[in-house]
Structure 1
Amino acid sequence: MHPQVCDAQQHSCTEPAPRLRIHNVKPPLVDQRQEILSGLMAANKRVSPKYFYDEAGSRLFDQITELEEYYVTRSERTILEREGRAICAYLSRDTMLIEPGSGSSEKVKMLLQHYLPASYAPIEISEYYLERAAQQLHVDFPELVVHAVCADFTSLDRMPDTVPEAPKAAFFPGSTIGNFEQGAAVQLLRNLRRMLGRRGKLLIGVDLIKHPDTLHAAYNDRQGITARFNLNLLNHLGRILNCSFDMGKFRHRAFYNQALHRIEMHLECREAHTLDVDGRVLVFRKGETIHTENSYKYSIEGFESLAGQAGFRRRQTWTDSERNFSFHCLEGV
């Protein structure tokens, strides 16, 4: 990898501020186009949930996390507020703390109240979101060294060459691991283990199995913000593919697949139509869906087994009082 190292203040590739650096290893647009087209031309259409997070999608997700129905962030905050000091006790101060899919970097601030690592490395595919969050962290924690990495964390198994070598730990909050099919989840954890090295610590959030009604409400909120978030994906795809999706021809669908213990999110086609993308015709049939996201729910024992396949052992687990959500300290073996 040969990333650019840019001055976050001047938006140029001159010598950056010593405590805040942006490392851009985002995949080329052509790679994204091919990935998206392959998914949309498949028999069962699908798009990676990473494409939710353009500027508008990132803002909508922030709104989702504050919804009454969306228990995930509320439950996780309760754990981090109550157990933050105990969680940080597993981390060494000489480490680089990596956060894959860092978003607004709000949750890591709950750890930084108890623990200041040697450096912090958020990894986020949205350049806008990453730079804004990194600059705010630089203001809130001026002594913190930040190496912000613009990249698709799902394909990384080592940090960019421009990031200094250091012992590493990772903070992976939220329930992002649930977005991956179980084979892909194991591979992602293996990549993280490789990045962290032997005995590297991973602090990870995992959503737990619960009543389907709770799950249905969380992904079909009364205000329709999750629906807007799902539909906004089409705007992002349109910019990447240089075409225009008619959002009125699709609707949001989310349901709990009890057999697989996962929420599925889809965009359902309201009417048959076609879309031309550089001479390639995408055909959408009425009732057909684009599968946009899975969100697997685990038991504690089930997740421990999954992590074991990736070379991690569970050191400690914390849950909220209602056992809606869990937070785990894993260690590479």
Structure 2
Amino acid sequence: MNWISNYVRPKINSLFSRREVPENLWSKCDECGTMLFHRELRDNLNVCTNCGHHMHIPPRERLEALFDGGVFTQIKVPAPIEDPLKFRDQKRYPDRLKAAQKASQEAEAMLVAEGEILRTPVVVAVQDFGFMAGSMGMYVGNAIIAAAERAIKLRRPLVLFSAAGGARMQEGILSLMQMPRTTVAVEMLKEAGLPYIVVLTHPTTGGVTASYAMLGDVHIAEPNALICFAGPRVIEQTIRETLPEGFQRAEYLLDHGMLDRVTARGDLRDELATILRMLMGEGPVVHGDLPAPAADEGAEPATAEPAPATADRG
């Protein structure tokens, strides 16, 4: 061996060898197949710049884009009983929860926060489809009740972003009980004379659609979102007929009177502020740089880590 083999050749190879590119720099659009650079995709709120397809967006990113200056205060949600049914399928239920928490960096399938949207104070609840398909369990019920109680205390409207595959089977009947619990929470808002706006995102299905997701004063959906109780494939197999094109999609439901708006994600901020200020009897929307909202009692600063929960009944 000599210095040519030991030094020169490896040096030349290193100069011309291709650098390894991290896999997470690019995302593929599910609709058109376009490869999208991660920064460009994030700047466009996870909407495909080629075809306009609305991809999944984590709840914190949605809240940062929604609130003035990206500033919001997270609201505490009481933790329900852990694994009340001692459920086990291929994995233990607590193991599934830990895996979902690690993957999403959130405590559960719903995040509740307060802040301002174009100087309009509001409480917002966001369901995370990335956490066990956004399934509705006892925590989600507690989150909606906490959001409603906070909105009533502060005399603010409540905006809820729904995204779920239905009830959480690992909690059985306790999961289904969240349907009447959340319905009562919505009724509390209406008795207090406060607006309740629902933004239905892809997908919103099952018991979520049969309860709090369709009880809003105004229903807005993101483009092409699937909104249903039973999915189109189940219906098609049951009635043995071909369904209309776009059946149970947001535009189809808008045409048939089940929705009030279909609004692109980039326009939701202005749309929500305009509707909320009209319903609250306030002046027109104000644009511009805004100060961060002051923290209130009963809330905690937003954090990327799962919030510690206190034991409580579901």
> So what's the TM-score if we normalise by structure 1?
0.26
> So what's the TM-score if we normalise by structure 2?
0.28
Q: Based on CA coordinates, which of the two structures has the bigger radius of gyration?
A: 2
Larger strand percent: 1
